[in-house]
Each structure stands twice: as C-alpha cells, then as structure tokens.
Copies of this chain bind each other. A is one copy, B any other.
Amino acid sequence: MATYGLIDYDDASPEVRAVYDDIRAVRQTDYINNFWKALAHDPPTLRRTWESIKQIMAPGALDPLTKEMIYIAVSTTNQCGYCIASHTASAQQKGMTPEMFAELMAVVGMANETNRLATGWQVEIDERYRK
C-alpha cells in the first residue's frame, strides 16, 4: 500500500493523531487519505506538510477551488497518478464541474505543447518581458 505501510488512527502515536484530528477538523470529514497515513511514519514531515498545505490552500487572494485546479495542473504535468486522483476528487467536492475540468485540461495540454515549441525553436525572451 506504501513503502512502510499505512498507519490508521487507532495505531497512531499521539503526535500523529493530533495531525489526523486537525485534518479531520479543517476538512470536515472523518476520512484520512492514504497520503497522510503513509507520511505518518515520519511525524515531522507529516506535521510540516500538513501545516504548509493548510496555510497555502486556505482562502486568500485566490479561492480554494482555483487552488485545487492549479494543484491538478501541476500534478498532471508531472504525471503523478495519486495526486491527480485525490485532487480531482477534492476539486469536485469544492464545486468543479465537468465543464471546468474540461477547460482546465485543455489549458494544461496546450501549455505543455507551447512550452516545448518555445524552447525547441529556441525563442529568446522579448525585451519587454525581461526582468
């Protein structure tokens, strides 16, 4: 199921349970997905990763659904099957419609295409875009 297996709530140390409890509270669900159960073998990384995600994915200048779609864009570009599956589920739960998903994929595909056209044709950055 994972390199060192998955740690369920009942088998978790108090340190790990505290993170699981916070995930449940913030996400308003009892479900802890496999990613966290695998990372639980490394409590400092479990905590740091969760705290970072909690901070980053919170509403701000961008809304949570937009952030989930950006997550899917990155995960698709990197070909990460786990992340595509889990973040597609999260995005759907936050209101992503099939139409939004379809447009998201179209942009992701196109960007991956033009990234290579720009680099392969060795296009120099325009003076006006330089920093």
- Residues of A near any B CB (own CB < 8 A): 1-5, 31, 33-35, 38-39, 41-42, 44-45, 48-49, 52-53, 55-57, 60-62, 66-67, 69-86, 88-89, 97-126, 128-131
Residue of B nearest to A1 (CB): B124
**A86→B38 CA distance, assembly (Å):** 19
**A103→B104 CA distance, assembly (Å):** 18
Q: Is the interface of A mostly helix, strand, loop or mixed?
A: helix
Q: Which of B34, B101, B115, B124 is within 8 Å of A75, CB to CB?
A: B115
Question: Are A67 and B116 neighbours in the complex by a CB distance under 8 Å?
Answer: no
**A118→B5 CA distance, assembly (Å):** 13
The interface residues of chain B lying within 8 Å CB-to-CB of A83 are 111, 114-115, 118
